[in-house]
Amino acid sequence: MPYFCNMKLSAIPKWGKAKIKEINHPLLRTKLLEMGVVPGVEITLMMRAPFQGPIAFQCGNTNISVRSEDADFIIVN
Residue number with CB closer to another protein (5 or 49): 49
The reply to whether 24 sits near another protein by the rule CB under 8 A is: no
The reply to whether 40 sits near another protein by the rule CB under 8 A is: no
Residue number with CB closer to another protein (3 or 6): 3
Q: 34, 67 in Cβ contact below 8 A?
A: no
Give the span between the Cα atoms of 45 and 30, in whole angstroms.
21
Query: Using CB under 8 A, which of the segments 3-11, 16-24, 41-49 binds another protein?
Result: 41-49
Q: 73, 67 in Cβ contact below 8 A?
A: no
Query: Which residues, other chains included, contact 62 with Cβ-Cβ below 8 Å and sequence gap of 6+?
Result: 35, 36
CB of 42 to another protein, least distance (A): 10
Binding site for another protein (CB under 8 A): 15, 26-36, 38, 46-54, 56, 58, 60-67, 70
